[in-house]
């Protein structure tokens, strides 16, 4: 159990890093390939990669017809809706500004878990979420352009992304009882990509402007951010619980800001440093050893429901 937890922590750290970098790639691509079309090709590439992994790890394809609606719901929310809203948002607000909305995900997931699964939350986990949210606010700061209609639309899109991810997390949890991590991600991506097919006929991409930079960023989004990262996220969610795993999403803004500094040459102020320290501390606090009896009961309850 301890080794699985360690692997899960490594998996979610890798996922957070990759998804933190993904916002930069989206920013590069979205002016050439519109949101829904980009999302379709991103997950089409991801589906091809996952198909290879699925064929190797799962010799027999078994999908219970009764579970198809749940796969469609989780795929449409976590694949289609979440990425579409995120891609649309960065057309109107900066990548770092969009990342602060991602910080709200753990809070909404915690609320949804309590409502849907009647999960009891430890005081330490609640404090960790609050602390991490404060840290992310320090990192991205207040966006003074919020008053403009474009900025408001961007934030509204990101709020839609948050809701989509909460639905994805809740819809995915019951699937652990019957399917492996790779099966879950494979079928979710397959159904999610299928939902996006009409988008390529609705939007107009500037194909003449597509160059090697656009292609490489799209491949990064498809292979690493969609196929590999989603698989690692589901693996971590199974062994850590959905609320603890969602807490690590607060590392995404930290990674986005730091990578923006090195790649886009953006400046990092004292508030970024303070915020980053708060986020890292919150993640450490949520996973520190020597848990109380209350916290052990909470985690054991989550694992029993997931297995």
pLDDT in tens, 147-190: 567 778 888 899 899 999 999 988 998 898 889 888 999 999 99
**Would you state the pLDDT for residue 292?**
46
Rounded to an integer, the average pLDDT of 221-230 is: 93
- Tell me what the pLDDT averaged over the chain comes to: 82
DSSP the chain: -HHHHHHHHHHHHHHHHHHHHHHHHHHHHTTTS-HHHHHHHHHHHHHHHHHHHHHHH-SS----GGGHHHHHHHHIIIIIIHHHHHHHHTTTS-HHHHHHHHTTHHHHHHHHHHHHH-----HHHHHHHHHHHHHHHHHH---GGGGSHHHHHHHHHHHHHHHHHHHHHHHHGGGGGT--HHHHHHHHHHHHHHHTTTHHHHS---GGG--HHHHHHHHIIIIIIIIIHHHHHHHHHHHH-HHHHHHGGGHHHHHHHHHHHHHS-----HHHHHHHHHHHHHHHHHH-SS--HHHHHHHHHHHHHH-
Rounded to an integer, the average pLDDT of 229-237 is: 90
pLDDT of 294 > 80? The answer is no
Which residue range forms the structural domain that includes residue 62? 2-306
Q: Based on the structure, what is the number of domains in the chain?
A: 1
pLDDT of 256 > 90? The answer is no
Give 299's pLDDT tier (boundaries 50, 70, 90).
very low
Rounded to an integer, the average pLDDT of 78-91 is: 89
The highest-confidence range among 42-56, 82-96, 246-260, by mean pLDDT, is 42-56
Question: Full-prediction pTM beyond 0.75?
Answer: yes
**Would you state the pLDDT for residue 306?**
38
pLDDT of 142 > 50? The answer is yes
Tell me the per-residue pLDDT of 260-279, one tens digit each, with 9 for 90 and over. 778 867 666 787 678 778 88
């Amino acid at each position: 159990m301890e080794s699985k937890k360690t692997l899960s922590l490594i998996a979610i750290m890798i996922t957070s890093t990759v998804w933190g970098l993904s916002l930069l790639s989206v920013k590069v691509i979205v002016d050439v390939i519109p949101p829904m079309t980009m999302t379709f090709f991103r997950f089409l590439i991801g589906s091809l990669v996952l198909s290879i992994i699925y064929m190797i790890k799962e010799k027999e394809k078994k999908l219970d017809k009764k579970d198809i609606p749940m796969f469609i719901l989780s795929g449409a929310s976590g694949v289609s809706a979440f990425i579409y809203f995120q891609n649309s948002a960065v057309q109107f607000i900066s990548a770092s500004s969009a990342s602060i909305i991602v910080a709200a995900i753990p809070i909404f997931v915690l609320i949804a878990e309590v409502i849907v699964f009647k999960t009891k939350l430890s005081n330490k986990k609640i404090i960790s979420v609050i602390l991490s949210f404060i840290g992310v606010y320090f990192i991205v700061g207040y966006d003074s352009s919020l008053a403009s209609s474009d900025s408001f639309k961007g934030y509204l899109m990101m709020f839609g992304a948050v809701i989509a991810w909460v639905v994805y997390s809740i819809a995915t949890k019951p699937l652990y009882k019957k399917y492996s991590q790779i099966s879950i991600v494979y079928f979710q991506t397959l159904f999610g990509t299928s939902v996006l097919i009409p988008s390529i006929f609705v939007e107009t991409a500037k194909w003449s402007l597509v160059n090697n930079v656009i292609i490489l960023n799209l491949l990064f989004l498809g292979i690493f951010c969609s196929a590999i990262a989603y698989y690692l996220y589901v693996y971590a969610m199974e062994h850590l619980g959905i609320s603890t795993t969602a807490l690590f999403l607060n590392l995404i803004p930290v990674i986005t800001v730091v990578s923006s500094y090195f790649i886009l040459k953006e400046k990092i102020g004292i508030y970024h440093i303070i915020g980053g320290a708060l986020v890292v501390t919150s993640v450490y606090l949520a996973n520190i050893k020597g848990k109380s009896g209350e916290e052990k009961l909470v985690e054991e309850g989550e694992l029993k429901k997931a297995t």
